[in-house]
Amino acid sequence: MGRCCVCRLKIHREAMKALQAVRAAPDADAIIISDANSVFINTILQHCGVADVFSAVLTNPASFNNEGLMTVAWHHTHTCQLCAATPNMCKGTILREFLKNSAHLYTQVVYTGDGQNDLCALLQLRDTDVGVVRKGHGLEKALAKGTHDVKASVQIVDFLQDLCSVITSYC
C-alpha cells in the first residue's frame, strides 16, 4: 500500500533538471542525508529514475518483516546536543564521516537543508562550501538567532525553482 502511494509522486520539472545537471557533471557527487527511511527514499528514487544520481543514501535502514510490515531502525545513536530532537541521527556526524571516509577529496560541498536537524551538518561546512537553506523553516530560524559560527556562505531560497537554480549553478 505505501509503495503504491509513493509511486504516484512526481519530481517537479525544475528538480529533474537539477538532478540531470548533477548526473552530467563529471566532478559532482550527490548524497542524501535524511531522517526518513531507506524504503521510502529508495522507492521514490527508483520510481522516478534518479537513483543513479546519488552515490549514497544515508538514512534510517528499513525493511519489511515476514508479516509484510515495514520496520525502521535508527541510523545511529549520538550525544550531539544540537541534534537532541532526533536521537536516531546527527546529520553533522554523518556528513563529517562521509567526507572523511570518501576516496574523493571534495573542494566544495553544497549542502541543502530546511530543518533544525540540518544545523549540525551546516556547521561542518568550510568557508569554501555553500549552505542552501529553505526560507521560513527551522534551519533558517536557527541561523537567525546568530549563535552559531557558520563558516560556509549561506543562500536562503524561497521556492523549489530557486533551490534547483542554485544547485544547477554549481554543477
CATH architecture of 2-169: 3-Layer(aba) Sandwich (3.40)
Over residues 28-79, the pLDDT tens digits come to 999 999 999 999 999 999 999 999 999 999 999 999 999 999 999 999 999 8
Q: What pLDDT, on the 0 to 100 scale, is given for residue 171? A: 86
What are 103-139's pLDDT values in tens digits? 888 999 999 999 999 999 999 999 999 999 999 999 9
Is pLDDT of 4 > 80? no
pTM (2 d.p.): 0.90
Tell whether residue 114 is among the known ligand binding residues. Answer: yes
Q: So what's the pLDDT on residue 10?
A: 80
Query: What proportion of the chain, given as a percentage, has pLDDT over 70?
Result: 96
Please check whether residue 31 is in contact with residue 5, taking contact to mean a CB–CB distance below 8 angstroms: no
State the CB neighbour count (10 A cutoff) for residue 28. Answer: 17
